[in-house]
Structure 1
């Protein structure tokens, strides 16, 4: 089993879609032996386009599926919640699920891992630093706690009081 970190984001019916994404990932990956862990939810401004603020979080799962199969599962969940595959990169989202890290794998295919936004976006790095403070970024060689401590960007980011649905094998803040 490998630990994978997934970024979830929504700026359309945000509370509903973040909750729905967590439920869908829970249904697919959670078990008594391998609970899923969810970071706090943060509100952040849209990046790359003018739009409503996003809710973002990071989820840690344990999985034995390949990276390609994990990406396919995430895209299926997105489509099931109203996010078309043809949507432009910088556009409103009902639900966006990105594979950020897959253990300490560094690769270019089937996707780039670790994702570059891990180091660029506060709405990814802060929840990662909370969820996996001692995990070492496989390229930078620093823990996520260190990376967050040294992060210097002016992105607006606010932690939220988010009520997670009570699910077995779900660990929340």
Structure 2
């Protein structure tokens, strides 16, 4: 069984699409746990704030099939396959980690956004604090603490009320 970490984000009908995405992921893979949901500003474009979280699942599928499932779930939630990278999203699902696999072709692993964006690193560190980045050989907890020392860190706030996600506690 491969351990896979997925990043989810939405800034269009956020609660509806995140919940729908989680349900579809639980149907496709073995759901393990999730981080808290974080509110973050849009990065790279002007737009509504995002909800972001990281989910851990397990699967026997190869990484290419995991990516196919994620893209299908995005499209079922209104995501256009040809949408611009920096644009509003009904649902965005990124494969962040697949075991300790390192690869350059799609999906790139580990996903580079882990070290660039607080909305990926903080929720990942929350549920995989002691797991080690396969290239940098640092734990995600240590990487998050180091990130927090940077003066330009992104504005990120954990949501207080996530009762709408109680089935994925």
Above 0.5 in TM-score?
Answer: yes
- The runs of 5 or more residues in structure 2 that have no matched partner are none
Conserved? CA contact 2:128–2:140, under 8 Å: yes
Conserved? CA contact 2:15–2:164, under 8 Å: no
Answering whether residue 38 of structure 2 is matched by residue 73 of structure 1, we say no
Structure 1 Cα separation of the partners of residues 125 and 164 of structure 2: 20
Cα-Cα RMSD: 1.1
SS in 1 for 2:104: coil
The superposition leaves residues 95-150 of structure 1 with CA deviations (integer Å, 9 ceiling, x where unpaired) of: 00000011100001232110110000000000011101110000110100000010
Structure 2 Cα separation of the partners of residues 166 and 10 of structure 1: 18
- The runs of 5 or more residues in structure 1 that have no matched partner are none
Q: 2:111 aligns with which of 104, 115, 118?
A: 115
Structure 1 Cα separation of the partners of residues 105 and 55 of structure 2: 22
Query: What is the count of residue pairs matched by the alignment?
Result: 165
Runs of 4+, deviation exceeding 4 Å: none
Answering whether residue 57 of structure 2 is matched by residue 57 of structure 1, we say no
The structure carrying a bigger helix percent of its residues is: 2
- Deviation at 1:163? 2.1
- Deviation at 1:165? 3.8
Conserved? CA contact 2:10–2:18, under 8 Å: yes
